[in-house]
Amino acid sequence: MGTLTEAMMRLRGEITDLRSDRVTLGQETKQTVASLCKATRDMQSGFRATHSAMAASTSAQRQAFVQGLDRDVTAMRSGFAASHQRMANDTRAARRKFANDLSADVEATLSATRSARQEMAARTGAERQKFGRELRSDTDAMVQGFRTSRGRMAAAAAAERRAFTTTLSADVDRFRGGFLWSHAQQSKRDKAARADFVATSAQSVAESRKALADDLMGARAAWAGPAAQPKRAASPAPVKAQAPVVAPAPAPVAPAPVSVPVVVASAPIVAAPTPVAETRRPDQERRGPGKKQG
C-alpha cells in the first residue's frame, strides 16, 4: 500500500469523526447561549438600579463643587489683577533705566573700536606687503624644483613601463597556451561523465514512474470505498533504458604554439595565436549540438 493510499483512508475516517463532533457542538452551543441570555438580563436590571442611585448622588456633589469652585476662581482673579498691575509698574521703570545705561555703554564701545581698527589697519597693511613679497619668491623656487623633479620622474617611469609591458606580454602568452590545453582536457572528461549520468538517470526515472502509477491506483480505490475496489492488474515489467554508446576519448592534444610578442617603443604588436581544434565524439556529430540524451 502506497503513501497516497494510506493518506486517503485516514482522511475518510477523519471526515466521519468530524461530522459527529459538529452535531454535538451545535447542541451544546444552544444550551450555553440560553443560559448566557438569562444571566445577561438579570445583570442589566441590576445595572439600571445602581446607575439611577449613582446619578442622583453624583448630581448633588457636582452642584456643591461648582459653587465652591466659582467662589475660589473669583478671589484668585482679583489677586492676579492687583499683582499684575504692580509688576507692570516696576518693569516699566527697570526697562527705562536699562535702556539709558546700554546707550552710554554702546557709545563708549564704538569709539574705542574705531580707534583700535585704524591702528590695526595701518600695521596690517605693511605686514601684508612683506608677506606677499616673501610668498612670491618661495613659490617661484618651488615651481622650478617641481619642474625639474617631474622631468626626471617622467623619464624613469617611461623606462619602467616599457620593461613591465614586455615582461607582462610574455607571461600572458605563456599562461594562455597552458589554459587552452587544460580546457581541452577538462572538456573531454566532462563529456564522458555527462554520458554516464544520463544513462543512470533514465533507469531511475522509469522506476519512479512505475511506483507513482501503483500509488495513484491504490489511492483511487481507497477513496471510492472497499466495495468499489477493482482487481489490480499486473504491472508491466520496467523497461530498462539502454546506455548510450560512448566512443573512446582521443589522445590529448598538445597546446598550440603561441608566438612571443615583439615590443616596440610606441606600442606592442602581438601575433595572432593558432586556434585549437575542438574534439567531438561520433555520437555528438549524429545528434547535433542542441540535443540531449535520455
- Domain locations along the chain: 3-225+236-273
Q: 238-253 burial string, b = 16+ CB within 10 Å, else e?
A: eeebeeeebeeeeeee
Instruction: Answer whether 243's CB lies under 8 Å from 283's CB.
Output: no
What is the predicted pLDDT for the residue at 279? 45
Q: 64-83 burial string, b = 16+ CB within 10 Å, else e?
A: eeeeeeeeeeeeeeeeeeee
13's grid cell: 475516517
Residues in the chain: 294
What is the predicted pLDDT for the residue at 160? 92
| CA 266 to chain CA mean position, Å | 49
242's grid cell: 539502454
**CA nearest 1: which of 15, 231, 9?**
9
What is the predicted pLDDT for the residue at 67? 87
Tell me how far apart the 2 most distant CA atoms of the chain are, in Å: 123
Beta carbons within 8 Å of 232's beta carbon, 6+ residues apart: 217
Helix (H, G, I), strand (E, B) or coil at 290: coil
* C-alpha–C-alpha distance, residues 273 and 41, integer Å: 101
Q: Residue 28 carries which side chain, given as an amino acid letter?
A: E
Tracing cell 613591465 back to the chain, one arrives at 164
What is the predicted pLDDT for the residue at 199? 82
* C-alpha–C-alpha distance, residues 9 and 12, integer Å: 5
Q: Residue 263 carries which side chain, given as an amino acid letter?
A: V
25's grid cell: 457542538
What is the predicted pLDDT for the residue at 225? 67
What is the predicted pLDDT for the residue at 261? 42
Q: Which ranges in the chain belong to alpha helices (H)? A: 3-224, 282-287
Q: Residue 74 carries which side chain, given as an amino acid letter?
A: T
Block mean pLDDT (10 aa), the chain, length 294? 76 83 86 88 86 87 88 87 88 89 89 87 85 88 88 90 89 86 88 86 86 86 66 48 44 42 39 43 47 45
What is the predicted pLDDT for the residue at 210? 85
Burial class (CB in 10 A: 0-12, 13-18, 19+), 234: exposed
Instruction: Answer whether 268's CB lies under 8 Å from 261's CB.
Output: yes
